[in-house]
Amino acid sequence: MLSDFDRVCGNVELQLILTKTMFMRNRQVSAAPFSLNRTTISECSSYVCLGREVNMVKDLAPELSRRKRAAWGAFKSIE
């Protein structure tokens, strides 16, 4: 699937930067290494997309903590 995505990206002159590309997997996927063009792609457990933390375990505690830190940071910057 990733090789198909890479091929289609190449058709429209987009290039995957494999050293920066990361992926997430759920419990239903085996823990085998993930690679493309002999480059192993890193795995991440969560990331922030459009201001919201995304993770596979649907745990809201890290998201709420991140938002509290951001709110306090914004509040302290206007003091």
Q: Does one domain contain both 59 and 27?
A: no
The pLDDT score that the predictor gives to residue 71 is 92
Q: Does one domain contain both 2 and 34?
A: yes
Q: Does one domain contain both 14 and 2?
A: yes
Tell me how many degrees the CA angle 57-62-68 measures, rounded to the nearest 5: 155
Extract the tokens encoding 52: 């919201």
> Could you report the average pLDDT of every consecutive run of 10 residues in the chain (79 residues)?
81 85 82 82 85 79 87 88
Domain residue limits at 58? 46-79
Q: Is the distance from CB of 44 to CB of 22 less than 8 angstroms? A: yes
Q: Does one domain contain both 25 and 3?
A: yes
Q: Does one domain contain both 40 and 63?
A: no
CA distances (Å), origin 38, targets 19, 34, 45, 78: 12, 10, 23, 49
